[in-house]
Amino acid sequence: RKNDFDVIIVGAGPAGLAAGYVLAKEGINVAIIERGIFPGSKNVMGGIFYRSSLDDLIPDFYKEAPLERHIIEQKVWFLSDDSMFSAGLKSERYNVEPYNCFSVFRAKFDKWFAKKVSDASAMIINETVVRELILKRGKVVGVRTDRPNGDLYCDVVISAEGVNSFLPKSLGLRKKINANNVALGVKEVIELPDKVINDRFGVSNSSEGVTIEITGPYFNEMRAMGFVYTNRNSLSVGIGAVIEDLVRLKMNPNDLLETLKSHPAIKPLVSGGETKEYMAHMIPEGGYYSMPKLYHDGFMVVGDAAMLVNSIHREGANLAIESGKLAAKTYIEARKKGDFSQRALSAYQKRLEESFVLKDLKTYKNLPKLLEEKKYLISKYPKFLIDAMYEIYNVDRVPKSEKIKLILNKAKKEIGYFSIIKDIFSVWRNLR
């Protein structure tokens, strides 16, 4: 049967849209199939969007895209039950165009991006679910959708369907997702007047924004990361926790979010606000070793479907865009030779290896395993740090030399000198 399209992309998130944009700009006949009523309608993100990967496709996009605030300060907060230790950077260098990153709402942002992609002449087919791949002698030749007579044929299918990616699974490119490799993220949008947000977060106008990433012993030994991001007239407040930990500690993510909002350092930030939206979504956090095989005859996998998330730096949408671009470039090269076999499409993996995407994921490749084995790293050490800082700031007529002795004794009793040396060595070895 004749092809309906050159390329069919499953999913109109940032990965699928980026691939579609590159292909359409080259005059390739591409369709993007999206199950939502419009791109962005089903998508959840914290959401901080990094500029550079999209700027490379659509220069100066930030001047027209629907963005909330550009971020001028990024902080990490370590919480214990009654305290908060803060680290971070506020810089005027982040306050000049073209900026580093922005807070966004995916429903608005993806819709805008999709319009750019369809203006470039890609066809976006909404409210359509891809049910399975169509194979011919083991090679992918199309997709079966839930529409009547909904089989569509093409040279190459790109799976950009996000974390639940069942198409790569159906080809045997990945195994069942392990509960240690996925987090469940929940998020609330809490409305507040922009002036209140400016005052609470110490910015001088409603286009400047702040991010706070939150971890520490307050969440017990749970691999959880909370966040508070400023939008123009609202805050995005949420938390993502590894599913294995939620099950092990019998925690419900909604309760976890309520616990976060009730902490004495967070409560004043959200107080008086009205919750406008509540969302939940999975985040693939397993890193490099959890990635599926990325290509097959007539098939490539991009974005969250390929587990391309750098959770420690909360980068996902930018990796999705970068991988979408590289898959599209690989198709364009393969088309010149008329060869869409695995051998030809394996160039996609090479392109990813040469880009920051896999270089970064490789840097942190051992981190998920390390945190799985030594969950106390994210609770014991921040707790010790908070207690030590408390002693140092607490002036109670105890001489400083005695305070230092006290802190060292605490370290010996609560963690142990030998364990500290072992942990430092193990973190160093795993991040080399």
What string marks each residue from 37 to 66 as x (binds ligand FAD by CB under 6 A) or -?
-----xxxxxxx------------------
Q: Which of 53, 85, 99, 162 binds ligand FAD (CB under 6 A)?
A: 162
Give me the half-sphere count of Cα atoms (radius 13 Å) on the Cβ side of residue 348.
34
Torsion of CA 255, 256, 260, 263, to 10 degrees: 70
Could you tell me the two tokens for 223?
């691999």
For ligand FAD, which is the closer residue by CB, 273 or 303? Answer: 303
Q: Which of residues 365-384 bind ligand FAD (CB under 6 A)?
A: none
What string marks each residue from 234 to 253 as x (binds ligand FAD by CB under 6 A) or -?
----x-x-------------
Compute the distance between CA of residue 186 and CA of residue 238 in angstroms, rounded to an integer.
5
**Which region holds residue 57: left if phi is over 0, alpha if psi is between -120 and 50, else beta?**
alpha
Size of the site for ligand FAD (CB under 6 A): 39
Contacts of 11 (CB under 8 A, 6+ apart): 32, 33, 34, 159, 160, 161, 162, 303, 305
Cβ distance 99 to 68 under 8 Å?
no
CA angle 28, 31, 34 (to 5 degrees): 150
Contact between 12 and ligand FAD (CB under 6 A)?
yes
Q: Which of residues 181-210 bind ligand FAD (CB under 6 A)?
A: 185, 187
Q: Which of residues 107-146 bind ligand FAD (CB under 6 A)?
A: 129-130
Q: Which of 54, 114, 160, 345 binds ligand FAD (CB under 6 A)?
A: 160
Contact between 304 and ligand FAD (CB under 6 A)?
yes
CB of 416 to ligand FAD, least distance (A): 36
Stretch that binds ligand FAD, among 1-9, 35-43, 150-158, 336-344 (CB under 6 A): 35-43
Query: Cα–Cα distances in Å, from 415 out to 191, 304, 372, 412?
Result: 42, 37, 18, 6
Contact between 317 and ligand FAD (CB under 6 A)?
yes
Is the peptide bond preceding residue 268 cis, with omega within 30 degrees of 0? no
Q: How many residues does the chain have?
A: 432
Contact between 226 and ligand FAD (CB under 6 A)?
no
What string marks each residue from 320 to 349 as x (binds ligand FAD by CB under 6 A) or -?
x-----------------------------
Contact between 33 and ligand FAD (CB under 6 A)?
yes
Cite the DSSP H helix spans in 128-193.
166-170
Stretch that binds ligand FAD, among 14-22, 51-59, 149-157, 217-225 (CB under 6 A): 14-22
Q: E-assigned strands of 231-356? A: 234-242, 274-284, 295-296, 299-301
What string marks each residue from 205 to 224 as x (binds ligand FAD by CB under 6 A) or -?
--------------------
Which residues contribute to the site for ligand FAD (CB under 6 A)? 10-16, 33-36, 42-48, 129-130, 160-162, 185, 187, 238, 240, 281, 283, 303-305, 309, 314-318, 320
